[in-house]
Amino acid sequence: MRRYIFLIRIIVIGVLAHAYVGARLIPDIPFSPAARWGAALFLLASCLVIPAGFLSRRLPRRFSEVFGWIGLLLMGYFSSLFVLTLLRDLFLLAIWIAGIAGGRHLPGAGTLADTAVAVPLLALASSLVGLYNARRRAPVRSVDVPIAGLPAALEGFTIAQITDVHVGPTIKRRYVDAIVDAVNGLHADLIAVTGDVVDGSVARLSAHTRPLGRLQARHGAYLVTGNHEYYSGVEAWVAEFERLGLNVLLNRHVVIDHGGARLVVAVVTDYGAGAYDPAQESDPEKALAGAPMDANVRILLAHQPRTAFAAEPAGYTLQLSGHTHGGQFLPWNFFVRLQQPFTAGLRRLGRLWVYTSRGTGYWGPPKRVGAPSEITRIRLVAGR
Residue 129's pLDDT is 96
Residue 56's pLDDT is 67
Residue 1's pLDDT is 55
Q: What are the extents of the domains in the chain?
A: 2-134, 140-383
Residue 107's pLDDT is 80
Residues of the chain with pLDDT under 70: 1-4, 6-7, 54, 56-60, 62-63
Residue 237's pLDDT is 97
Residue 146's pLDDT is 97
**CATH code that applies to domain 140-383:** 3.60.21.10
> What b/e string do you get for 348-364 counting C-beta neighbours within 10 Å, with b at 16 or more?
eeeebbbbbbbbbbbbb
Q: How many CB atoms lie within 10 A of CB 90?
A: 10
Separation of alpha carbons 234 and 342, rounded Å: 26
Residue 238's pLDDT is 96
Residue 2's pLDDT is 56
Residue 12's pLDDT is 87
**Nearest CA to 233 among 277, 202, 259?**
202
> What b/e string do you get for 287-296 counting C-beta neighbours within 10 Å, with b at 16 or more?
bbeebeeebb
Separation of alpha carbons 180 and 174, rounded Å: 10
Separation of alpha carbons 78 and 86, rounded Å: 12
Residue 330's pLDDT is 79
Residue 3's pLDDT is 56
